[in-house]
Homo-oligomer: A and B are copies of this chain.
Amino acid sequence: MLKEGYAAVTSRKVAREANVTSQLVHYYFSTMDALFLALWGRFVTANMERQARALNSPDPLGAIWNFTSHVAGTALELEFIALAHHRKTIRKEIARAGDRFRKMQIEALSPFMDDYGFGRDKGFADVLTVLLTSASRSLIMEKDLGVSVGHSRTSDYIEKWIKRLSAVRRHNCAKKRPRKQAGA
């Protein structure tokens, strides 16, 4: 799917890859849509866990950026989105997962908005998650395509910006609750 696109995923090729016949593929997956949905299910489960682990961090903003910048995951997601564009049953599942992912990110980020210096405007967590996801998604998509104008400056800028916010957070947290261990 990543190499040749979803259109190249045929029952015959899947069968060859698994060293079985194409008919056996149909035995397990009644239709190709069923096969794609099964694959998507695996992908979502694995990614939800991976994201949950990543977001369980004192710096969820950096975690979101790192997570959404994962090339293989985003490329596969984009391929599924392309597939979803003309298959109703698949589109529904992809959209559902997209909502879940974003809600998870927002929930993880919201409690930290004050620490990051954004005051108590929790609605801004929505904006940050959408913008970060959009940026990494586009950077990966364009790099894959061969477009690169402005890329290094943009990712540099975002990463510096996140580091600065991270420092703000650490500063605020140190003030709020003095550290228990007085290390060197």
Cα(A102)–Cα(B154), bound, Å: 13
> Of residues A85, A95, A157, which shows the largest number of chain B Cβ atoms within 10 Å of its Cβ?
A85
Is there an interface contact between B135 and A91, defined as CB atoms closer than 8 Å? no
Tell me how many chains of this kind the complex includes. 2
Q: Which of B102, B138, B148, B149 is A147 in contact with, Cβ under 8 Å? A: B102
Chain B's closest residue to A94 (CB) is B145
> Of residues A84, A95, A130, A133, which shows the largest number of chain B Cβ atoms within 10 Å of its Cβ?
A130
Q: Interface size class for chain A?
A: 35 or more
Is there an interface contact between B102 and A144, defined as CB atoms closer than 8 Å? no
Q: A127-B154, A134-B134, A154-B130 are in contact. Are A149 and B85 (CB under 8 A)?
A: no
